[in-house]
Chain A
Amino acid sequence: MSDQIPTGQMLPADPAASAAGGRGGPRPRLSVRMSARDLLNTAVFAVIFMVAIWAVGMLGVISPLVWLITTPLQILAGGIPFMLLLTRVKHAGMVTLFSVVLALFFLFSGNSPVSTAGIILLGAVADLICWLGRYRSKWAAIWSCTVFGLGFLTPFLPLFIDRQAYFASATWETMGEDYIAATDQLLTAPVLGILAAAVAVTGFAAGLLGSAVLRKHFIRAGLA
C-alpha cells in the first residue's frame, strides 16, 4: 500500500468530511435522508458501475461459457467505481441506496426477482461494514467491496433453484442417466459455495485494485 494514504484510512472527497468523519470522530448516524448531491453522486456512480461491467460483460455475449470467464473481470471492473463512490459517502444509507437502484435497474432490464433481492441484501450488509468503519476505513471499504461483489453470483441463483426443470426435457432423457447425474452434480450447494468463495476472493481483489487505482490516479487528479 502507498504511503500517500494513511494506514487504515481513505482520503475523503473534501476536507470538511475529513474533519467530521475521522477515525476517532463520531460514528455517522444511520439516516436515509439524502441531499440532492447524494442522490446525484449515487446515480452517477451507479451508471459508471453498470457501464464498466457491461463493457466487459459484452465479451460474454460470444458464448455462455465465456460469460463465466468474464464474470471475474466484471467484478474487478466494478471495484474501481465502487471504491471511488465510497470516498464520497458521508453518511449511512448511500451504499444501500446504490444497491437498491442498481438492483431495480437490473430488474427493470430483465434480471430475476431473486437476484434483485440478493443484490439489495448484500448492499445493505456492505453499507453496514462501511458504517462500522465510520466510512473512512480503507479495509472496511475493501471488505464492503468483497461483500457487494457477491451480487455477481445472484444472477446464477435461478439455475440452482430450478435445477430439476432443466433435466426434465426429452433432450436430457436421450443423453442418459449418467450425463444427467454428472451435470446435476454441477448444481449442488457445495458447488455454489465454491463459486461464492471464488467470487468473494475476486471481490476482495477488486477492492484492492480499486484502492490502488484510487491512489494511483484519482487522488492525484483530485477526483477522490
Chain B
Amino acid sequence: MPDALNPGLRGLDPRTGLALVVLVSAAVMSPTGLRFVPAAVALGAGLAVAERAWRRGGGLVLAAAGLWLGGWPLPAAWPGAVTAVVALACQFTIRLVACVGVGWHVIGQSSPTAMSAALRAWRAPRAIAVTLAVMLRFFPVVVGEARAVADAMRLRGLAGGRGLLRHPWLSLERFAVPMTAASLRATEDLSASAALRGLGSRRRPTAMFPLRFGAADLMLALAVAALAAASLAASALLAPWWLA
C-alpha cells in the first residue's frame, strides 16, 4: 500500500487510475474487444514495471501468454472437442486477465484517503465513497486473518484444493467461520478508531493534498491513446495476427 499521505500513485491523480480501469474494462469486454487485449496486457505490465512490482508484471504476462497458447495455437495444433472447449475458456479468460492486470494495479496502489478524495471529487454519494474507502482500509486486515487461518489449516493438513473438492461444506466451514470471526473482532477496534476520527461524518473533509491532474496523467493518457490506436491499426492491417 502507498503512503497514506500520498494522494496518488507516484504522481498520478487517483481519478486517472479509476477512469483508466473502467475504460480498459469497457473496451476489452465490449464486442470485438479481443483486439484490445494485447494493449491492455502491455498497459498492465507497464504500470506494474513502473511501480517495480516485478512479480505482478511478470505474472500478468505469463498468465496472458499461457491463455493465448491455450486459446489459439493449441486448438490449431490439435483440433478436437476438448481443445475447443479449452480454447473458448482461454479466449474468454484472457480478457478478464487483461482487465484485472490494470485493475489490481489501481486497487493496490490507491490509499483509502486517495480513493475517498477521488470519489468525493466526482460527487459520488457519501455512502458509496466512505464505504469503498473503508473497504480499502480493512482489506489488509481481513487478508491477514484469512492467511492465518489458511496457515493453521495447512499445519493440520486440512488445506488444499483436493480437500476442498472432496469435502466442500466442511472445508468452507473450517475456513470461513474462523476467518469471519477473527476479522470481525480485529475490525472492531479499527471501526471505533475510524468513527472517532470522523469517518462517515456528513461534513466534507478538507484534503491535505488537493487532487490535481498533472504531467503524469497526460503521459498516461497519451500512452493509452497510442496503444488503442495501435490496436485498431493492427486489427485492420494485420487481420489480428495474434488471433491467427
Interface residues of A (CB under 8 A from B): 32, 34-37, 39-40, 42-44, 46-48, 50-52, 55-56, 59, 62-69, 73, 76-77, 80-81, 84, 97, 100-101, 104-105, 107-114, 155-156, 158-159, 161-162, 164-166, 169-172, 174-176, 179, 182-183, 186, 209, 213, 217-218, 221, 223
Contacts and interface: CB of A to CB of B under 8 A. Distances in A.
Contact of A158 (B29, B72, B150, B176): B29
19 contacts: A35-B200, A39-B200, A44-B142, A44-B191, A46-B131, A48-B142, A48-B184, A51-B142, A52-B146, A55-B175, A64-B89, A68-B89, A80-B176, A80-B177, A112-B29, A156-B92, A165-B32, A171-B76, A223-B181
Interface in B126-162: 127-128, 130-132, 134-135, 138-139, 142-143, 146, 150, 161
A112 B184 contact: no
A40 B142 contact: no
B9 interface: no
Contact of B72 (A108, A109, A171, A176): A171
A104 B30 CA distance: 18
Contacts, number: 227
How big is chain B's contact interface, by range?
Answer: 35 or more
Interface of B: 18, 21-22, 24-26, 29-34, 67, 70-73, 75-76, 79, 81, 84-93, 95-96, 98-104, 106-107, 125, 127-128, 130-132, 134-135, 138-139, 142-143, 146, 150, 161, 164-165, 168-169, 172-173, 175-177, 179-181, 183-184, 187, 191, 194-195, 199-201, 240, 243-244
A110 B23 CA distance: 10
B143 A64 contact: no
Nearest to B186: A44
Given A40-B194, A175-B79, A186 B31 contact: no
A55 B168 contact: no
Interface of A is mostly: helix
B92 A64 contact: yes
Nearest to A100: B128
A80 B18 CA distance: 30
Contacts of B104: 109-110
Given A39-B134, A110-B104, A97 B244 contact: no
